[in-house]
Structure 1
Amino acid sequence: MLTFSLTRTDRILTPSDFTIIDFLMELGIDDSVTDDTLREAAMVEVDSIPDENREEESSAEPTYKQDQDGQEFESEAAAHAFYNAYAAEVGFIIRVSKLSRSRRDGTAIGRALVCNKEGYRMPDKREKIVRQRAETRVGCRAMIMVRKVGSGKWVVTKFVKEHTHPLNPGSGRRDCMFEQYPSQNEHDKIRELSQQLAIEKKRSVTYKRQLEVIFDYIEEHNVSLSKKIQHIVDSVKQMEPKEEEHNHS
């Protein structure tokens, strides 16, 4: 579990190039955050953070930068992982929302991740006869929006921190970020199953060819047998008149 410190730095951070790991350590966060998974998933560059934009936070929230605009991620998955880690510490669950695609080639170029209490549930037309479910959406506006730029990185274009409902710090689901992105073990398993499937397909083709050969042989044998039977029938028919003539004589 990530641990966060509420101590403030004595200087204003400048827009020098450094990763989120260095940024978190600069704020006094426990260096256990350097876990390989987070290091690979959320390598970003941090813009300047004016001291006047930072405020004292309660122990209920980690010391994340309030203004995330301009922050960069190596991929959409990295942005997803980072926001999910943030949500787990703050105490809410994220939901994948809008996706923007390029009109040129259809690739993903924008993504919005929101609080799962975003918006409002559509009224159920059956509410008069069906017991109404408990309301889970309260119009929360907390969200992060990232967009892919020319360099291939994903940049934060909008970040809303405030929630309209109580939070439960530490109870967020950390595993959400891995549900949509298979782990290395899963990739290996998929590769292994794909190889087995390819082998079975080849074996199936071989069996099919063997069956076709057998059916061809059976068909040829049936044709030959039919000809022999027909020859016997014809021979019998030819012999019948001769036998009748012999009997009359």
Structure 2
Amino acid sequence: MVEAGSIPDEYIEEESSAEPTYKQDQDDNVAQDSSGGGLIIPAAVPTLPGASAEEPYVGQEFESEAAAHAFYNAYAAEVGFIIRVSKLSRSRKDGTAIGRALVCNKEGYRMPDKREKIVRQRAETRVGCRAMIMMRKINSGKWVITKFVKEHTHPLNPGSSRRDMFEIYPNEHDKIRELSQQLAIEKKRSVTYKRQLEVIFDYIEEHNVGLSRKMQRIVDSVKEMEPKEEEEHNH
């Protein structure tokens, strides 16, 4: 295991056995985000052209977060394991991503499910593996590896093809496809709701304008009646 830096006070650790150890050199607070905790990287971040299977090292820089993902993904496919997102660090100033942890998909332990005693026993897929990389965004805009744990606690399948690796988890493609479809549906619903709200607001605005005009006419009528009443009273 190789690593650099220490955990700054600005970092908040949440539900992850892969503890951040990178140092913050920007005047920025960071909030941890567990989104994507179950995302298998090979399906989400394809290997980019030029990505190699060389071993990562602390201090290694990448032009973008996606390039770092692709690099570690290619390395994992060559060595024989699958990676997933463990932790995302966001800036509290503007919400942009400034830190990321990628771990072996066998990291941690699965919590027991009481329902499985009745239905079926699932195969154990998490064995507390600590293999991972930590990376963070630096002032130049590049991403740098700040921690690398090479050792795995389970047998690897070196040289396996991407197809062979997916055979271990055959449902991952279907899950991601289903989630993508659901996301698209929710986006369409959101657009529809927004349009409906705009129609309602337009109606309310038009109604209020009409009501204001009616009120103004009543006020004008009252003002016109006041001089007439005074004139009649004087006579």
Q: Secondary structure at the match of 1:155?
A: strand
Tell me how far 1:139 sits from its aligned partner.
0.4
Residues 1:190 and 1:237: Cα distance change in structure 2 (over 3 Å): same
Higher relative contact order (CA 8 A, sep 6+): 2
Task: Report the Cα offset of residue 141 of structure 1.
Answer: 0.3
Q: Distance in 2 between matches of 1:153 and 1:62?
A: 18
After superposition, what is the alpha-carbon deviation per residue over 1:165-209, rounded to whole angstroms, capped at 9, x for unaligned?
A: 00101225389x999999xx9999999999999999999999999
Pairs aligned (count): 202
Residue 164 of structure 1 and its aligned partner are, at CA, apart by 0.4
1:125 deviates by: 2.5
Note if contact 1:142-1:159 (Cα within 8 Å) is conserved in structure 2: yes
Deviation at 1:98, TM superposition (A): 0.4
Counterpart Cα distance in 2 of 1:239 and 1:50:
76
Counterpart contact for 1:100–1:110, Cα < 8 Å: yes
1:9-57 superposed Cα distances (whole Å, 9 cap, x missing partner): xxxxxxxxxxxxxxxxxxxxxxxxxxxxxxxxxx999999999999999
Counterparts in 2 of 1:205 and 1:240: CA distance versus 1, 3 Å? same
Q: Cα offset for 1:96? A: 1.4
CA RMSD in angstroms comes to 15.1
2:134 aligns to what SS in structure 1? strand
Displacement after TM superposition at 1:129 (Å): 1.5
Residues 129, 153 of structure 2: 8 Å contact kept? yes
Distance 1:165 1:64, change over 3 A: farther
The reply on whether 1:192 has 2:178 as its aligned counterpart is yes
Greater Rg over alpha carbons, structure: 1
Report the TM-score, using the length of structure 1 for normalisation.
0.43
- The residue matched to 1:199 in structure 2 has which SS? helix
2: CA distance, partners of 1:83 / 1:236: 79
Cα distance in 1 between the residues matched to 2:10 and 2:225: 120
Give identity over the alignment, percent.
92
Match in the other structure for 1:223: 209
- Partner Cα distance (2:123, 2:71) in 1: 30
Deviates more, 1:94-103 or 1:225-234: 225-234
Contact 2:20-2:134 within 8 A present in 1 as well: no
Contact 2:21 2:146 in 1 (8 A): no
5+ residue gaps in structure 2? 27-58
